[in-house]
Amino acid sequence: MSVISGLDEVTDANFEAEVLRADLPVLVQFTADWCGPCRQLAPVLRDIAFAEGDRLKVVRLDVDRNPATTLAYQVLSTPTLLVFQDGEPVRSMVGARPRRRLLEELADLL
């Protein structure tokens, strides 16, 4: 569990098990401790994780500590949000956004 975000943290080692093989769609925040917009987005993601936990899993991945997954999905900036469904990335969003906008962007996946 990340102290900064309050979200479960995934790593290169457990990404396949926690994200690619998940039963629910998974929203992955590619983030870094030094990223200001990532910290702004953290409470939004916590709220969504709590409110939509039965329909969506929300996790974070630190790009500095997990270069293999970051490179595999060609993440070039933080925060990048990728939604995975059935083991495949189905949505990509870059940058912080308010809760309402993010929920609108995810509506068809929930």
User: What is the pLDDT, as a whole number, of residue 5?
Assistant: 54
User: What is the pLDDT, as a whole number, of residue 11?
Assistant: 98
Poorest-pLDDT segment among 4-8, 11-15, 23-27, 54-58: 4-8
Please say if the pLDDT value at position 4 is more than 70: no
Gap between the Cα atoms of 50 and 28, Å rounded: 15
Please say if the pLDDT value at position 1 is more than 50: no
pLDDT digits (tens, 9 = 90+) for 83-106: 999 999 999 999 999 999 999 999
User: What is the pLDDT, as a whole number, of residue 7?
Assistant: 84
Q: Which domains does the chain have, with CATH numbers?
A: 8-104 (3.40.30.10)
Q: Provide the annotated active-site residues.
A: 35, 38
User: What is the pLDDT, as a whole number, of residue 110?
Assistant: 87
Strands 88-94 and 80-85: antiparallel
Q: Across the chain, where does the E strand assignment appear? A: 8-9, 26-31, 57-62, 80-85, 88-94
pLDDT digits (tens, 9 = 90+) for 21-78: 999 999 999 999 999 999 999 999 999 999 999 999 999 999 999 999 999 999 999 9
Residue spans of alpha helices (H) in 22-93 = 36-51, 67-72
Per-residue CA distances from 39 to 60, 63, 70 (Å): 11, 14, 18
